[in-house]
Structure 1
């Protein structure tokens, strides 16, 4: 009986460890450097970080809508997405949400837009750009549906 309990406990621990598969990113934004992973701002920051820091587009496609995911997939590589979708190639990058425009009560919304400030370097030149990330809420998760320039 004791061995059976240990096996069941081990299976439950393994199941809970594998059930959490959201992309884990350390994001120092929001109040006191903490940001909930259920906000659209978090999803926008993770999307930008995945595009610039990962080796492939798999995680970016996972957090995008089907239509936008097909667009990302059509560019094949992260540098292709940086060049054509974001129109911003960088070698080093930091990203933060732009404060202002209080969203409030985002848990009840179905659509959101988040302005992000991307700071980085390319060819030893400092570049600062603002992008607007459009999102929709699908089955409880924020999915990226588009990227545009904040200032046209």
Structure 2
């Protein structure tokens, strides 16, 4: 009886362990530790560029683009063309960080400007760059409107 109860307890614990280990993939956020607030312009800017450099198509990036920028991006059709012709910034692999210096209070602002640092590789060489991103607030959140070299 004691052995039977021990086996039941062991089977229950094993089942709980297996079920808890089967979580889906974690949704990583933006920022250095993946903890950036989703309602700030820095988050929208980082997500916009992350989708351009990491995704297979432009769908994710278009969610964070203003209508004006979205029309321009759609005309280039693929991520690599947008990197090359719209952003003039091509990477094979990249890490994107917002500048902490301009992290202001944009709670009630309609426009914001964010500096992003890009560090990555292109053809095996390390490339570092900085871009100034202008964002506008819409009903659905912050949208990237312009990208410029400082």
- Give your verdict on TM over 0.5: yes
Q: Distance in 2 between matches of 1:107 and 1:61?
A: 23
Partner of 1:28: 31
Secondary structure, aligned partner of 1:108: coil
Aligned residues: 124
Q: Distance in 2 between matches of 1:128 and 1:92?
A: 12
TM-score (ref. length: structure 1): 0.77
Partner of 2:53: 52
* Mapping of residues 56-67 of structure 1, within 5 Å: 56-67=57-68
Q: CA 1:33 to 1:58, structure 2 compared with 1: closer, same or farther past 3 Å?
A: closer
Deviation at 1:98, TM superposition (A): 1.3
Q: Distance in 2 between matches of 1:144 and 1:33?
A: 20
RMSD between superposed Cα atoms in Å? 1.5
Secondary structure, aligned partner of 1:55: coil
1:56-112 Cα shifts (integer Å, max 9, x gaps)? 0111112111111000101110000000111111111100001213422x1100000
Q: CA 1:134 to 1:128, structure 2 compared with 1: closer, same or farther past 3 Å?
A: same
Q: Distance in 2 between matches of 1:97 and 1:75?
A: 26
Secondary structure, aligned partner of 1:67: helix
Partner of 2:137: 137
Secondary structure, aligned partner of 2:56: coil
Q: Which runs of 5+ in 1 are unaligned?
A: 1-23
TM-score (ref. length: structure 2): 0.78
User: Contact 1:25–1:46 (CA<8 Å) still a contact in 2?
Assistant: no
User: Contact 2:115–2:131 (CA<8 Å) still a contact in 1?
Assistant: yes
Q: Distance in 2 between matches of 1:28 and 1:65?
A: 22
Q: Which runs of 5+ in 2 are unaligned?
A: 1-26
User: Contact 2:31–2:43 (CA<8 Å) still a contact in 1?
Assistant: no
Q: Distance in 2 between matches of 1:78 and 1:101?
A: 28
Deviation at 1:113, TM superposition (A): 0.7
Q: CA 1:28 to 1:136, structure 2 compared with 1: closer, same or farther past 3 Å?
A: closer
User: Contact 1:65–1:144 (CA<8 Å) still a contact in 2?
Assistant: yes
